[in-house]
Structure 1
Amino acid sequence: MSDTSNHLHVSSVLNRRSIARHGLDWARMGAAPGIAGSRRPEVEGVFLCRGEEEAEFFLQINNTRGPVDLWSVDGIDEGLLLDNGNGFVYLPGRVPAARLLLVRSDVPPRPGF
């Protein structure tokens, strides 16, 4: 039996409407840069945080130049997550909107990171 647990995803507020409608979909990236500042998907998948501490790191490095949202992602099979080579994980696929919940919105950029 695979372990499923709740994960988190940080994204620009500019993506909120698309995420609420289409879920997390790396192929739809474009409204805003990624959290690390990339303009294109770094991988063919969706980066996920494995808890609050990891999510806090991504909230701090926010390179979108604007506020971000924190989404809870339900039912992710840990066995499907891949390491991107930097210790962070991503799901090689999409996450339907039905498995997402907006848990924090409009988190402002943090100066000094």
Structure 2
Amino acid sequence: MGRLYHVTSVRNRDSIRRFGLDPSRMGAARGIAGSRGPEVDGIFLADEHTAGFFIRINNTGGPVDVWAADGVDPASLVISPEGFEYLPGTISPDRITLHRQDVPLP
């Protein structure tokens, strides 16, 4: 089990600190790809290289944060129809840390 990353709008920071990563709480900002609602019932996670890709495609309308999630079993990840990995469900606040903040639009 290693460290994986989740990229999201800075507008979600307060909610994430309070509730963790929870797709049902999406709404403060568009998703990284510009979606207005969750694309899957889970949390997209990536290695550091792929997190860089998500930063580059940022379509949230502003800067993003990169959250680190520790202790995720890679066998529990699911592949989305677009080919990206996600963890079904939520990730509690005690399992994440703010890795990078206020990363500007590319």
* Short-chain TM bin: over 0.9
Q: Distance in 1 between matches of 2:48 and 2:43?
A: 17
1:13 aligns with 2:10: yes
1:95 aligns with 2:91: yes
Q: Distance in 1 between matches of 2:67 and 2:16?
A: 9
Match 1:58 to one of 51, 54, 58: 54
Q: Normalising by structure 2, report the TM-score.
A: 0.97
Structure 1 window deviating more from structure 2 (12-21 vs 81-90): it is 81-90
Quote the sequence identity (%). 55
Two-structure CA RMSD over aligned residues (Å): 0.6
SS at match of 2:75: helix
Q: Distance in 2 between matches of 1:53 and 1:94?
A: 23
SS at match of 2:29: coil
Size of the aligned set, in residue pairs, is 106
Q: How far does residue 87 in structure 1 lie from its aligned partner after superposition? A: 2.1
Match 1:22 to one of 11, 14, 19: 19
SS at match of 1:86: coil
Q: Normalising by structure 1, report the TM-score.
A: 0.92
1:41 aligns with 2:66: no
Q: Distance in 2 between matches of 1:40 and 1:103?
A: 24
Q: Distance in 2 between matches of 1:26 and 1:38?
A: 12
The ranges of structure 1 where at least 4 consecutive aligned residues each deviate by more than 4 angstroms after the TM superposition are none
Q: Deviations over 1:11-64 (max 9, x none)?
A: 100000000110000000000000000001001111001x21100000000000
Question: Unaligned stretches of 5+ in structure 1?
Answer: none
